[in-house]
Structure 1
């Protein structure tokens, strides 16, 4: 069946951005020389190596780092999402909540900063960063509580704001994001190895850029909150913090040119494009005429799903064909249902297919999935839909429109056997969307 082939193509994308592949390409220790992202450092030129980091892929990155560096590592601490921990020898793993942080996130930041107190200017700090770190590394602004920060993050996530907008606000509610983590690294050489989960692989946006000079300001964060009508809905402590920042009473994040960053290197080692290219390679091997939509998809999930279905319907080229795109859509949640952006994408695509004649709908399969293995607060990574899904829905008297309007995609897709469940993938490079055409 075509849906099995869609899942195979998706899984190939995930495999291509596994830390097991990526870390070995960028981290080498051979004959007394440590090479990190192309920079070679003789063993006698540094004292200790410390490993820190956060993200959904951070535990897998840490295990690979241990395999490569072994006893060269003095100490380390990684924070990852619940259910994503892996066994390690030297590097401690802490699990915490995502996307809305909990007390374990706050404790992990405190423990990371405590570890960095041992660092000197003769040491190397390797920072392993991947998607999810913005929430997993959470600290609390003065005068606020964790509950108030949780409320703020939840409002942002539900507002339909793009990831770069969400992270601009996060940076200005933190003492480590937006390059501020480097203030705690005591002039050590810092190498950040980064798996990107944001459009354009913008270093300042990935994980809210803890080791990168920041281009945004308190004024920018205020404008974003105003844009989504959140200012008056924020807790009073957060409103006060933002206002103090705008008035210069709180120092802004460090900017480009700050000598703070003179010993810091940031390298993207994995990205959505790597995954898309691997998916295309697999599709070709399966006999599909393959087309990549080169622009990253960042708009509303429903609108983008409609576009992809229309592109598949209007396709006039050689068949069978596979259209692949990557990115990260947004959803402005209005119902109390269960799901995620990829499930909403898939259910919208199904709605569009249900309006087509049988000969058209029968030739098209749509898959949308998150490369991290989780979509929203669910155990699914996304879903794959086709004419069989339409048939199953009719048999079970499921009304697509009702589920869509309530943002309740998960139960619909579960009942029709359409969910894609991979479990934690130990990587995160945004989402992959696939249209197969017979």
Structure 2
């Protein structure tokens, strides 16, 4: 079994390496620019984990036609010549995000109405492009973000709240640029590819409401936990004392165009094809999951064990591929991310089974507030931990998956990948 596990590990590492080198998914934005003439004056704005790569392609395509631009990113993956890159923080906003956001907003306000604006958006923009609403301090906003992200709320629910607490989200930038020819290019990192949700939708109208934001906080028992200023601001919104975000059907943004890139399913299919070439019978999930870490981990392990027990139509050696975004209800005070927690859950579930290995990978390279992208585990991982007098269950209870994987040398570190799709899981069996 050790030889099989070693081979599986090498293949999973190869999956990660090929993704990072664009072997499975490569952004190609040129098709979105076919209607633009290079003689036009073009301004480039954007935010998100993949926004620098997107802006780089714009510079390659339009060159000197780009008048100016600002991108807000957690890192600088490319050196840009005509577009400024400001760095911000993710998943929680700090002063650098706010300062960069004011600079972007200031530039947007002085763009002539006859000029074209291309807005590059990818996941992470909710924190990177963020100005607290009037009366809300940054540390109060940051505390609210943390409570939401640790509550088990879905990304749709989290961003419905965040859109009502930031002066940049929920269509507000679209409203500012309502008279411009605006092309929003959106790289999806959320199940369903809803442009209202991705990066909290700065340039698209928002169908959620202040009342919905209030109900979400009540649902997850956070209403009494969030700072007083948050409750005051949302209450004002529900009573009509603060304007709602621009609503679908109420706007006449005639020259606004939206292009959404759904890359996670392409990535998963290409990983499946790669595994077939490696001799595996493969099964690729038909759609993205959007459930808790515990539930998706249970489903994945159940599928894997079904292959081993010959209750599945798939025969070993087999490869299972999943993609999506999970939620974590954080009750402990440990360190980790949803991919690391998923991997720890799975390692416990497949303990002692025949050769099973699992990769759980944040495609942006940063899993939660850690320096890891995820983890690679197998059916011997927790057995080895117990021999070292480590209790996997204790680490899981404390939401301390990072330190478990660190001790077991199962952390996956890639650094920022310059891309941002959904999370990817690959399971190899037999």
Q: TM-score range by the shorter chain?
A: over 0.9
Higher relative contact order (CA 8 A, sep 6+): 1
What is the aligned residue count? Answer: 419
| Aligned match of 2:263 | 271
Selected match of 1:407 from 386, 399, 412: 399
Indicate how the Cα distance of structure 1 residues 435 and 424 shifts in structure 2: closer, same or farther if over 3 A, else same: same
Q: Which runs of 5 or more residues in structure 1 are unaligned?
A: 28-34
| Aligned match of 1:32 | none
Deviation of 1:388 after TM superposition, in Å, equals 3.7
| Aligned match of 1:313 | 305
1:150 aligned onto 2:156: no
| Aligned match of 1:229 | 221
Q: When the two structures are superposed, what TM-score results if normalisation uses the length of structure 2?
A: 0.93
| Aligned match of 1:23 | 29
Structure 1 runs of 4+ off > 6 angstroms? Answer: none
Mapped to 2, the partners of 1:88 and 1:155 lie a distance apart of 36
1:80 aligned onto 2:73: yes
| Aligned match of 1:189 | 181
SS at match of 1:69: helix
Selected match of 1:41 from 18, 36, 41: 36
Mapped to 2, the partners of 1:139 and 1:262 lie a distance apart of 27
Deviation of 1:334 after TM superposition, in Å, equals 1.1
| Aligned match of 1:66 | 59
1:339 aligned onto 2:339: no
1:330 aligned onto 2:327: yes
Query: After superposition, what is the alpha-carbon deviation per residue over 1:69-127, rounded to whole angstroms, capped at 9, x for unaligned?
Result: 1111000000011x445311110001111111001111111111111122122111000
Superposed CA RMSD in Å reads 1.7
| Aligned match of 1:128 | 120
| Aligned match of 1:398 | 390
Mapped to 2, the partners of 1:194 and 1:307 lie a distance apart of 30
Q: Is the 8 A contact 1:10 1:279 kept in 2?
A: no
Mapped to 1, the partners of 2:23 and 2:149 lie a distance apart of 25
Selected match of 2:346 from 336, 344, 349: 349
Deviation of 1:24 after TM superposition, in Å, equals 3.6
Q: Is the 8 A contact 2:38 2:62 kept in 1?
A: no
| Aligned match of 1:165 | 157
Indicate how the Cα distance of structure 1 residues 318 and 63 shifts in structure 2: closer, same or farther if over 3 A, else same: same
Q: When the two structures are superposed, what TM-score results if normalisation uses the length of structure 1?
A: 0.92
Selected match of 1:51 from 23, 28, 44: 44
Deviation of 1:9 after TM superposition, in Å, equals 2.7
Selected match of 2:89 from 91, 94, 97: 97
Q: Is the 8 A contact 1:18 1:426 kept in 2?
A: no
Q: Which runs of 5 or more residues in structure 2 are unaligned?
A: 1-6
Mapped to 2, the partners of 1:179 and 1:159 lie a distance apart of 25
Indicate how the Cα distance of structure 1 residues 274 and 371 shifts in structure 2: closer, same or farther if over 3 A, else same: same
